[in-house]
Amino acid sequence: MKLDKKWITTAIVVLIVVTGNSYSATRDNKHPNDAGTLFNRANLFMQNGKYEEAESLYKRSLVITEKSLGPDHPSVANTLCNLAILYMQQGKYEEAEPLLKQSLEITEKSLGPDHPDVAGTLCNIANLYIKQGKYEEAEPLYRRSLELAEKTLDPDHPEIANTLNNLANLYMHQGKYEETEPLYKRSLEITEKSLGPDHPSVANTLCNLAILYMHQGKYEEAEPLYKRSLEITEKSLGPDHPSVATILNNLAELYSQQGKYKEAGPLFKRSLEIRERSLDPAHPSVANTLVNLADLYRQQGKYEEAEPLFKRSLEITEKSLGPDHPDVATTLNTLASLYMQHGKYEEAEPLFKRSLEITEKSLGSDHPTGGVTLNNLAELYMQQGKYEKADPLYKRALDILQRTFPNGHQNIDACENNYAIMKRKMQNRSESDLEDEIW
User: In this predicted structure, what is the pLDDT of residue 98?
Assistant: 97
Average pLDDT of the residues in 223-229: 98
User: In this predicted structure, what is the pLDDT of residue 220?
Assistant: 95
Could you state, in order of their start, the residue ranges of all structural domains in the chain?
7-152, 323-439
Closest CA to 404 of 170, 76, 126: 170
Second-level CATH architecture of 7-152: Alpha Horseshoe (1.25)
pLDDT, one tens digit per residue, over 82-107 is 999 999 888 788 899 999 999 999 99
Provide the percentage of residues in the chain whose pLDDT is more than 90. 71
CATH C-level class of 323-439: mainly alpha
Distance from C-alpha of 139 to C-alpha of 425, rounded to nearest angstrom: 42
Distance from C-alpha of 365 to C-alpha of 359, rounded to nearest angstrom: 8
Tell me which DSSP letter residue 391 carries. Answer: H
Average pLDDT of the residues in 26-36: 61
Distance from C-alpha of 125 to C-alpha of 141, rounded to nearest angstrom: 8
- For residues 76 and 61, the answer to whether their CB atoms sit within 8 Å is no
Distance from C-alpha of 336 to C-alpha of 430, rounded to nearest angstrom: 30
Residue type, position 306, single letter: A
Cβ-count burial 366-398 (b if 16+ within 10 Å, e if not): ebbbbbbbbbbbbbbbbeeeebeebbebbebbb
Q: Do domains 7-152 and 323-439 have the same CATH topology?
A: yes
Distance from C-alpha of 68 to C-alpha of 70, rounded to nearest angstrom: 6
Q: Is the pLDDT of residue 61 over 50?
A: yes
User: In this predicted structure, what is the pLDDT of residue 210?
Assistant: 96
Q: Is the pLDDT of residue 18 over 80?
A: no
Cβ-count burial 402-413 (b if 16+ within 10 Å, e if not): bebbeeebebbe
Average pLDDT of the residues in 233-246: 93
Answering whether pTM is above 0.85, one says no
